[in-house]
């Protein structure tokens, strides 16, 4: 039995989902898991005797202009390392979590190994900032092991940050017990979707990098040929821009803005096609969630997306911003039931063969064992 500390962003987001699901699956296989986060991870929705939660508390002393959250986190990590005698502290994101972990390791008396998983934004956004680059490099170099969620992210990390440390690719996974096709009866009707209408879905945090406007422009072209509805799931900075664009294009009755949703697998289960037109995406966990629910995907030739979608088999890859091609592929797929059915089945098979949770968790377990036994 290993004792593992996990730090991630506990709010909605792919990295938080991966970190929490990984902890829950490891607890199930007998390891002891200690989440060290600012609030309860949103996916931590099951009780398990092997799971513990340590909240990072922040005191608002008037002497501090800004409350020093990162230092409070490092302090909490050090406390947990010593009290629980952690074997591994697995942090998600180099900035700031790996830096906090390194500081915590210095403070703690008990020896712990640090594993850092890179999810993208720390490299592709923060890494471009020269003032942070050295710090990110330090976090990566001082970790005992580093993983990234795609080959593309490894390459970007080496190019942008300039590290020559070995970075292991461990792909993301989904909880297959939650993500499978299971259409709740009457749900289409409740949303006003006709039985003869196709459903296109987009799920994101509506950040600029997600290019939600490209999804809407693509749908605008699709619906001219295919009777269909577009479901937009999620919320974020570009939400109102998207809302206005839908109105401007006269699509109000065909686009459903659902905001943040808990049971996304229900919505995927009524969907025929998923669109992800991002300009930055280290993996695209939402694609995998869709494929697990038998939904083929169209995504951009960006970051890790081509490692997730098997072009012409489980969906299509288009160049960034190529709305015409995205619409052409969508129409081609949606108007041919036999082809659509084959893509759906292949999407599920692809998810099972390459991103099966059991195999991915095993890769993390092997990595932990390697670094524990190495020193």
Residues at the contact surface with ligand GMT, assessed by CB under 6 A: 13-15, 18, 119-121, 124, 149, 172, 205, 207, 209, 280-285
Q: Which is nearer to ligand GMT, 86 or 154 (CB)?
A: 154
Q: Which is nearer to ligand GMT, 204 or 271 (CB)?
A: 204
SS3 70: helix
Q: Which position's Cβ is nearest ligand GMT?
A: 120
Q: By C-alpha distance, which of 154, 174, 179 is closest to 164?
A: 154
Q: How far apart are CA 55 and CA 36, in angstroms?
A: 6
Q: Which is nearer to ligand GMT, 283 or 368 (CB)?
A: 283
Q: Which is nearer to ligand GMT, 119 or 198 (CB)?
A: 119
Is residue 356 within 8 Å of residue 350, measured between CB atoms?
no
Q: How do strand 51-55 and strand 297-300 relate by DSSP bridges? A: unpaired
Q: How far apart are CA 206 and CA 107, in angstroms?
A: 39
Q: What is the 8-class DSSP label of residue 53? A: E
Handedness of CA 59, 63, 67, 68 (dihedral sign): negative
Closest approach of ligand GMT to the CB of residue 42, in Å: 12
Which pair of tokens denotes residue 361? 């968790």
Q: Which is nearer to ligand GMT, 5 or 14 (CB)?
A: 14
52-60 contact pairs (CB < 8 A, 24+): 52/84, 54/79, 54/80
Is residue 26 within 8 Å of residue 49, measured between CB atoms?
no
Closest approach of ligand GMT to the CB of residue 343, in Å: 21
Closest approach of ligand GMT to the CB of residue 14, in Å: 3
Which pair of tokens denotes residue 124? 């592709």
Closest approach of ligand GMT to the CB of residue 190, in Å: 29
Closest approach of ligand GMT to the CB of residue 320, in Å: 13
| Burial 301-327, CB ≥16 within 10 A → b, else e | ebbbbbbbbbeeebbbbbeeebbeebb
Closest approach of ligand GMT to the CB of residue 129, in Å: 16
Q: Which is nearer to ligand GMT, 8 or 108 (CB)?
A: 8
26-30 contact pairs (CB < 8 A, 24+): 26/2, 26/361, 26/364, 26/365, 27/51, 29/361, 29/365, 30/1
Closest approach of ligand GMT to the CB of residue 92, in Å: 8
Closest approach of ligand GMT to the CB of residue 86, in Å: 23
Closest approach of ligand GMT to the CB of residue 138, in Å: 21
Is residue 202 within 8 Å of residue 218, measured between CB atoms?
no
- List Cβ neighbours of 282 (8 Å cut-off, separation of 6 or more): 118, 119, 120, 121, 123, 124, 148, 149, 150, 152, 153, 156, 303, 304
- Which helix (H) or strand (E) segment holds residue 34: the answer is strand 32-37
Q: Which is nearer to ligand GMT, 272 or 281 (CB)?
A: 281
Count Cα neighbours of 62 within 13 Å in the Cβ-side half-sphere.
0
Q: Which is nearer to ligand GMT, 87 or 238 (CB)?
A: 238
Closest approach of ligand GMT to the CB of residue 61, in Å: 30
């Amino acid at each position: 039995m290993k004792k593992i500390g996990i730090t991630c962003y506990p709010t909605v987001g792919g990295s938080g989902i991966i970190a929490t699901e990984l902890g829950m699956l490891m607890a199930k296989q007998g390891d002891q898991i200690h989440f060290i986060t600012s609030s309860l991870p949103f996916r931590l929705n099951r009780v398990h005797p092997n799971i513990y939660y340590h909240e990072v508390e922040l005191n608002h002393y008037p002497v501090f202009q800004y409350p020093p959250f990162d230092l409070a986190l490092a302090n909490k990590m050090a406390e947990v390392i010593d009290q629980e005698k952690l074997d591994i502290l697995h942090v998600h994101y180099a900035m700031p979590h790996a830096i906090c972990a390194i500081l915590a390791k210095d403070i703690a008396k008990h020896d712990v190994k640090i594993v850092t998983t890179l999810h993208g934004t720390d490299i592709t956004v923060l890494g471009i900032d020269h003032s942070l680059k050295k710090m990110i490099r330090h976090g990566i170099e001082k970790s005992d092991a580093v993983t990234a969620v795609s080959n593309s992210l490894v390459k970007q990390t080496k190019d942008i940050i300039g590290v020559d440390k070995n970075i292991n690719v461990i792909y993301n996974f989904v909880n297959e017990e939650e993500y499978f096709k299971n259409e709740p009866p009457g749900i289409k009707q409740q949303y006003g979707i006709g039985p003869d209408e196709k459903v296109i879905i987009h799920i994101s945090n509506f950040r600029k990098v997600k290019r939600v406007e490209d999804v809407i422009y693509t749908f605008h072209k699709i619906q001219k040929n295919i009777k269909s509805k577009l479901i937009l799931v999620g919320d974020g900075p570009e939400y109102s821009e998207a809302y206005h664009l839908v109105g401007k294009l006269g699509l109000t009755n065909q686009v459903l803005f659902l905001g943040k949703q808990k049971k996304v697998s229900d919505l995927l289960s009524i969907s025929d096609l998923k669109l992800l037109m991002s300009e930055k995406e280290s993996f695209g966990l939402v694609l995998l969630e869709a494929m697990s629910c038998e939904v083929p995907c169209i995504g951009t030739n960006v970051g890790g997306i081509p490692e997730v979608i098997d072009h012409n088999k489980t969906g299509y890859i288009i160049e960034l911003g190529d709305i015409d091609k995205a619409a052409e592929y969508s129409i081609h797929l949606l108007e041919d039931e036999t082809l659509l059915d084959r893509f759906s089945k292949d999407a599920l098979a692809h998810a099972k063969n390459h991103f099966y949770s059991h195999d991915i968790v095993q890769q993390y377990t092997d990595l932990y064992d390697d670094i524990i036994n190495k020193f």
